[in-house]
Amino acid sequence: MRLPWSRRDRPRRAPPPVEPLTASALTWLLAALALAVAPQATELSVWLSVLFAALVGWRGFIVFRNRALPPRWLLLLVATLAGAGVMIDHRTLFGRDAGVALLTAMTACKLLESRGLRDGVVLVFLGYLLVMSNLLYSQDIPLVTYLLAVILVMLTAQVLIHRQHAGLTALAPLRLTGRMVLLAIPVMLILFVLFPRIPGPLWGLPKDAYKGRTGLSEQMAPGSVSELIRSDAVAFRVRFADAVPPSNQRYWRGPVLWHFDGRRWTRPEEPPVKTPIPFTPEGAAVDYAVVLEPSNRNWLFALDLPARLPPRAGMTPSFQLLRDQPVNEVYRYEMRSYPAYRTAEPTAMERSRGLQLPPRANPRARALVAEWRQRDPQPEALVRSALTLFREQPFYYTLNPPELGGEIVDDFLFRTRRGFCEHYASAFVFLMRAGGVPARVVLGYQGGEMNALGGYLMVRQSDAHAWAEVWLEGRGWVRVDPTGAVAPNRVQQGLYAALSDSRLLPFLARHGGDSEWLRQLALGWDILNNSWNEWVLAYGPERQKEFLSGLGFGPADWTGMTVAMLIALGGFGVLYAGWRWRSRLARDPVARAWQRFCARLARRGLARGAAEGPLDFAGRVAAGRPELAAGVWEIARLYAALRYGPVAPPEQVRQLRQLTRRFRA
């Protein structure tokens, strides 16, 4: 017979059993993951969104119906197919979109093999990555608030994973994580403000990292600007130090286009220099700060003509500001411009570039210019003739111009005569060059809308504009806006005033009407967004230095920031510890009773020293006030026993409370 204790019968030590995921932990985890992926549901391919939802649903079904997990081969099959699907969709597994898609697919597959605590933890970590991946697409206030809530749910799931044996409510961990997040926020703020920031990127970003951002392109063809007009996204916001210049002086200079191939204008390679290009100001300076939205372009916008350089930026000879890195975060910079100016002589190369034209193109336009020159060969006269042409002939300013074919300048000038700013700028520069006047196209934004409540100017994508510059003897490069000749309202009051068919405009670019109140509401919301951009999203290495130096502790450097950060964290830690001490005291009847006792003695001039133990204190009191000795000794002994003894029996606690309540000094 084999006895139960015989050696052979003893079970071999098994590997530690898998601690299973409880149903409540899995439910919270599934909810958190679904919430984390939800904002991207539209960005992801349809099949992937469906797959994710299906696998989350399947896992939920398995939990609630207590079914078995799918076999391993099925899981491998699904994972392989999903990986292949991502590969087919994106032609790569790297890069932003493919990376996020792959992360989503693999998280979904991991769900189906998650049974133990460790799997749950892996899923939570993947969940944090998924939450963060949303920030690649947007960082606006609603999304960030939403993601904060998702983090809360994810943390709760993480807590539930580790509370394997609880039969209590699921709300307790939610309350706990809520409190933890609330306590974490001050620490986060300290780190956010003071952690020394390093300018990125550290390594190459995937090509599609910032795909899908709207903004000016570096070339101009018929229709390229009017495409942009349909977006009412804010391009940048400006806060002026003093008076706001009038609308017709608010030309926000962007890429300068020199080269014309008969259809499109392009920007030549112009190496930026690290000092502002000199010119002669004629009048007062305008100081302002720009908060630029991410554009995935290098260019920074400034009023004509910029006279200083933001950090890590340069200026081309044609006064265009270029940042070293593309602007992929909200970027704030301070600028100074001179609205009235005189520039120097163009170099030989600028002159030849400023006269470049495709040979023999647009003969009718050339003939027209030749005719004007015979009348008056002065460059000023040519400018006047061209503007007169636009003003007096039946030219129309419209968002919906007819298609141009063949020789586009001729076709526009003599046939369609309907166009948007790029048509007028293009035709005007062509005419000037044909007449021997150096000219160039400037892309940028014009005007912008004041947010009166917020005291700043909003420049939207719908304010995109193209204008011309001609070189005139003695004055240098002079801005000429041919659109202004056709539609003076465009320049003075903005796009809405200039267009008759305003229904084509995006909602926020329209004025008046029934929905004006809604527009006002939107302006209020924009104020919030502006502060968010200016103070939070634009808080990078430069803004950090600027902000911290502005606090009056001298110039902020790496070490100073680290020291300040550690001091602030330590200070917060001390505050928190103090608060915990107080609240524990409030909960602890023994400590409270002792405090009451000490307070009574203190009122009689017998204050306990900070480092004085209960028995030392009692000895001192007994020596000074022999009539109290018995009571004091009893309380002190009981307190010492309760405080420093192993366990506090409730009846002794009650006794201490009664003694201290009755004690009279």
Partner 1 sequence: MRGQRPSAEPIRLTRRRIYILPTGQGYAFATLLFLLFLWSINYSNSMGFAFTFLLAAVALNSMWQAHDNLLGLIVDSSGAEPVFAGQEARFAFRVENPDPRPRYGIALQWRDQPPRHTDLPASGAAVVTLTVLAERRGWLRTGRVRVLTRYPLGLLQAWSWVEFERACLVYPQPRGRRPLPAALSGGAGAGLGDQGFGSEDYAGFRLYAPGDSPRRIAWKAATRGGPLLVKQFTDQVRPELWLDWRLLGIDSVEPRLAQLCQWVLKAEGEGRRYGLLLPGARIAPGRGDAHRRRCLEALALFTYAEDVSHRHETAVEPEGPTKTRAAAG
Contact between 1 and partner 1 per CB under 8 A: yes
Instruction: For residue 147, state whether it binds partner 1 (rule: CB under 8 A).
Output: yes
**CA separation, residue 352 to residues 259, 260, 345, 349, 657 (Å):** 11, 13, 13, 5, 98
Which ranges of 203-347 does DSSP label H, i.e. alpha helix? 224-228
Q: Which of 335, 261, 271 is nearest to 303 (CA)?
A: 335
Residue 165 interacts with partner 1 (CB under 8 A): yes or no: yes
CA distances from 80 to 37, 84, 87, 106, 323 (A): 20, 6, 10, 10, 42
H or E stretch at 630: helix 629-644
Order of strands across the sheet that contains 302-303: 302-303, 251-257, 439-446, 464-472, 476-480
Q: State in angstroms the smallest separation of the CB of 493 from partner 1.
A: 35
Taking CB under 8 A as the rule, which mask of x and - marks residues 291-330 in contact with partner 1? -------------------------------------xxx
Contacting residue, 135, 149, 370, 567, with partner 1 by CB under 8 A: 135
Of 310 and 379, which has the nearer Cβ to partner 1?
310
Q: CA–CA separation, 638 vs 60, rounded Å?
A: 56
Is 465 among the residues known to form the active site?
yes
Q: Kindly tell me which residue out of 57, 71, 201, 406 binds partner 1, with binding defined by CB under 8 A.
A: 201
Taking CB under 8 A as the binding criterion, the range among 67-75, 162-170, 221-229, 400-408 that sits at the site for partner 1 is 162-170
The catalytically annotated residue of 421, 463, 526, 598 is 421
Check residue 17 for interaction with partner 1 (CB under 8 A): yes
Q: Which of residues 575-604 bind partner 1 (CB under 8 A)?
A: 576, 580, 587
Report the C-alpha gap between 34 and 417 in whole angstroms. 54
Closer by beta carbon to partner 1, 2 or else 664: 2
Token pair of 126, please?
């993947």
Secondary structure string (H, E, C) spanning 417-477: CEECHHHHHHHHHHHHHHCCCCEEEEEEEECCEEECCCCEEEEEHHHEEEEEEEEECCCEE
* 402 contacts 423 by C-beta, under 8 angstroms: no
Neighbours of 586 (CB within 10 A): 10
Which one from 109, 465, 526, 598 is the annotated catalytic residue?
465
Q: Under a CB-based contact definition with an 8 Å cutoff, are residues 444 and 253 in contact?
A: yes
Closer to partner 1 by CB, 271 or 646: give it: 646
Q: Measured from the CB atom, is 170 or 244 closer to partner 1?
A: 170
Classified as helix, coil or strand, 195 is coil
Hey, how many other C-beta atoms are within 10 angstroms of the C-beta on 598?
19
Name the minimum Å distance from CB 192 to partner 1: 6
Residue whose C-alpha is closest to residue 347's, from 307, 322, 319, 317: 317
DSSP one-letter string for 314-347: EE-TTS-EEESS---S-EEEEEEE-SSEE--PPP
- Provide φ and ψ at 512, rounded to 5°: 65, -165
Establish if 128 lies at the interface with partner 1 (CB under 8 A): yes
Strand partners of residue 220: 265
3 scored as a contact of partner 1 (CB under 8 A): yes
Asked if 87 and 65 touch (Cβ cutoff 8 Å), the reply is no
CB of 200 to partner 1, least distance (A): 4
Region from 167-175, 300-308, 523-531, 619-627 binding partner 1, contact rule CB under 8 A:
167-175
Nearer to partner 1, 130 or 427 (CB): 130
- Nearest CA to 429 out of 391, 393, 383 is that of 383
CA distance 660 to 593: 6
Count the neighbouring beta carbons within 10 Å of the beta carbon of residue 654. 12
**Shortest distance in whole angstroms from residue 115 CB to partner 1:** 16
43, 69, 163, 248: residue in contact with partner 1 (rule CB under 8 A):
163
Q: Contact between 198 and partner 1 (CB under 8 A)? A: yes
Q: Specify the stretch interacting with partner 1 by CB under 8 A; choose among 174-182, 236-244, 262-270, 462-470.
A: 174-182
If one asks whether residue 142 binds partner 1 (CB under 8 A), the answer comes out as no
109 in catalytic set: no
Q: Which of 164, 280, 400, 562 binds partner 1 (CB under 8 A)?
A: 164
568, 631 in Cβ contact below 8 A? no
Of the candidates 61, 64, 94, 192, which one interacts with partner 1 according to CB under 8 A? 192
Determine, following the binding rule CB under 8 A, whether residue 176 of this chain makes contact with partner 1: yes
Q: Which of residues 2, 46, 91, 167 is near partner 1 by CB under 8 A? A: 167
Region of 20-28, 123-131, 407-415, 516-524 interacting with partner 1 (CB under 8 A): 123-131
β-strands 280-281, 219-220 pairing: unpaired
* Amino acid at residue number 609: G
Q: Is 289 helix (H, G, I), strand (E, B) or coil?
A: strand
Q: With contact defined as beta carbons under 8 Å apart, do 382 and 369 qualify?
A: yes
Instruction: State which residue, 210 or 412, has the beta carbon closest to partner 1.
Output: 210
Stretch that binds partner 1, among 50-58, 121-129, 309-317, 413-421 (CB under 8 A): 121-129
Query: Does the footprint of partner 1 cover residue 538 (CB under 8 A)?
Result: yes
Of 408-437, binders to partner 1 (CB under 8 A) are none
Least distance in angstroms from the C-beta of 40 to partner 1 = 15
Which residue is associated with the tokens 């002589």? 345
Q: Pick the stretch among 150-158, 365-373, 442-450, 607-615 that binds partner 1 (CB under 8 A).
A: 150-158
Concerning whether 598 is annotated as a catalytic residue, the answer is no
Asked if residue 565 binds partner 1 (CB under 8 A), the reply is no
**Residue 13 half-sphere exposure toward CB, CA atoms < 13 A:** 1
Q: Please select the residue that binds partner 1; options are 107, 177, 426, 660, rule is CB under 8 A.
A: 177
Contact with partner 1 (CB under 8 A) among 54, 77, 171, 191: 191
Q: Which pair of structure tokens corresponds to residue 218?
A: 């570096």
Annotated active-site residue in 97, 304, 410, 481: 481
Restricted to residues 80-119, the positions that interact with partner 1 (CB under 8 A) are: 117
Neighbours of 140 (CB within 10 A): 12
β-pairing, 321-323 vs 396-397, is unpaired
Residue (4 or 550) nearer to partner 1, CB: 4
Least Cβ distance, residue 135 to partner 1 (angstroms): 5
Q: Looking at 200-208, 228-236, 269-277, 452-460, which segment touches partner 1 (CB under 8 A)?
A: 200-208
Stretch of 51-59, 144-152, 362-370, 473-481 contacting partner 1, by CB under 8 A: 144-152
Q: Cβ 163 to partner 1, closest distance in Å? A: 5
Candidates 25-33, 313-321, 538-546, 654-662; binding stretch for partner 1 (CB under 8 A): 538-546
Find the shortest distance in angstroms from Cβ 323 to partner 1. 12
The nearest distance, CB 159 to partner 1, in angstroms, is: 5
Q: Which of 22, 107, 114, 158 binds partner 1 (CB under 8 A)?
A: 158
User: Which residues form the catalytic set?
Assistant: 421, 465, 481
